[in-house]
């Protein structure tokens, strides 16, 4: 059903115009698509780069993607500098967390939860500490030598060190 303003009794006779146009229907569908896509494009352009941050006292200058994966997946329990790693995650589900794991290892949050269920219930380790907000992540990283978290680049403060970037 066409929206009411497109019905034949509308003063603009939309249906008649659409019928007159070649591929009339498809113009309309194309228009809906554009309207639908617009907010996505705007939001997409605004989506920030994610950065992995550590405490400046951690002795870590930079981490490779593999090192970040090993720490966040609980396979490596220390930072390359030797400090015991304290990974800080965001409580899910939210866009930053979803993007972080999607960009880091191409996994969905359900797959991450499934992975941790397997490890947790076979005594192999617990998931990273869960922080409620980006501010809490910052606070923990600023105050713990071995802490490692992730944020949008714009949220990183001067008191943390960026060691890895995850662009879109």
Partner 1 sequence: MKPHFFVATLLGLCLSRAVLAEPLFASETLSLNGFGTLGGVYNLDGGADFIRDISQPDGARGDGVAWAVDSRLGLQATWRPLEDFESTLQLVSKYRHDGSYHPEITWAFLKYMVTPNVQIRAGRLGTDIYLQADSRDIGYGYLWVRPPVDYFGRLSVSYFDGADFAVTQELGEGILKGKLYAGQARETLPADGGAQYSLDGTSVAGGHIEYQNLNWLFRVSYAAIRLENETPAEPLLNVLQSTGIPQAVALAQEMSLARKRSDFFGAGIAYENGPLQSQLAISYLASDSLMFPDSNSGYWSIGYRIGQWTPYLVYSRIKSDHNQRATGLPNIPPFDAINAGVAQALSGSRADQETFTLGMRYDFARNVDFKLQLDWVDSRVNPSLLWRNPDPDWDGQATIISATLDFVF
For the chain, the helix, strand and coil percentages under 3-state DSSP, each to the nearest 5: 50, 15, 35
CB nearer to partner 1: give 65 or 153: 65
Q: How far is the CB of 121 from partner 1 (least distance, A)?
A: 5
Q: Is the alpha carbon torsion for 35, 93, 74, 138 positive or negative?
A: positive
Cβ-in-10-Å burial (0-12, 13-18, 19+) of 94 comes to middle
Residue 78 within binding range of partner 1, rule CB under 8 A: yes
Q: Which stretch binds partner 1 (CB under 8 A): 6-14, 19-27, 33-41, 75-83?
A: 75-83
**Residue 111 binds partner 1 (CB under 8 A):** yes
Nearest Cα residue to 75 out of 116, 104, 129: 116
Nearer to partner 1, 18 or 69 (CB): 69
Question: Interface with partner 1 includes 121 (CB under 8 A)?
Answer: yes
Q: Please work out, in degrees rounded to the nearest 5, the angle formed at the alpha carbon of residue 106 by the alpha carbons of 87 and 125.
A: 35
Peptide bond into 6 cis (omega under 30): no
Could you give the residue ranges of the DSSP H alpha helices within 11-156? 14-20, 24-46, 65-72, 95-105, 109-120, 134-143
- Is 92 a binding residue for partner 1 by CB under 8 A? The answer is yes
Please report how close the Cβ of residue 40 comes to partner 1 at its closest, in angstroms: 17
Instruction: Examine residue 98 and tell whether it contacts partner 1 (CB under 8 A).
Output: no
| Span interacting with partner 1, options 13-21, 24-32, 37-45, 59-67, rule CB under 8 A | 59-67
# residues contacting partner 1 (CB under 8 A) = 36
Neighbours of 44 (CB within 10 A): 10
The residues that touch partner 1, with contacts defined as CB under 8 A, are 64-66, 69-70, 75-78, 84-85, 92-93, 105-111, 113-115, 117-118, 120-123, 126, 129, 139-140, 142-144
């Amino acid at each position: 059903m066409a929206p009411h303003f497109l019905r034949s009794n509308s003063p603009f006779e939309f249906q008649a115009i659409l019928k007159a146009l070649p591929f009339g229907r498809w113009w309309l569908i194309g228009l809906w698509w554009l309207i639908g896509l617009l907010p996505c494009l705007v939001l997409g352009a605004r989506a920030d780069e994610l950065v992995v941050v550590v405490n400046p006292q951690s002795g870590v200058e930079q981490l490779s993607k593999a090192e970040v994966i090993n720490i966040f997946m609980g396979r490596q329990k220390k930072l390359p500098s030797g400090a015991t790693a304290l990974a800080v995650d965001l409580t899910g589900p939210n866009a930053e967390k979803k993007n972080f794991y999607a960009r880091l290892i191409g996994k969905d949050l359900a797959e991450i939860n499934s992975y941790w269920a397997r490890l947790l219930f076979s005594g192999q380790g617990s998931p990273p500490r869960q922080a409620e907000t980006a501010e809490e992540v910052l606070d923990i990283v600023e105050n713990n030598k071995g802490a490692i978290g992730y944020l949008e680049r714009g949220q990183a403060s001067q008191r943390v060190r960026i060691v890895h970037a995850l662009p879109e």
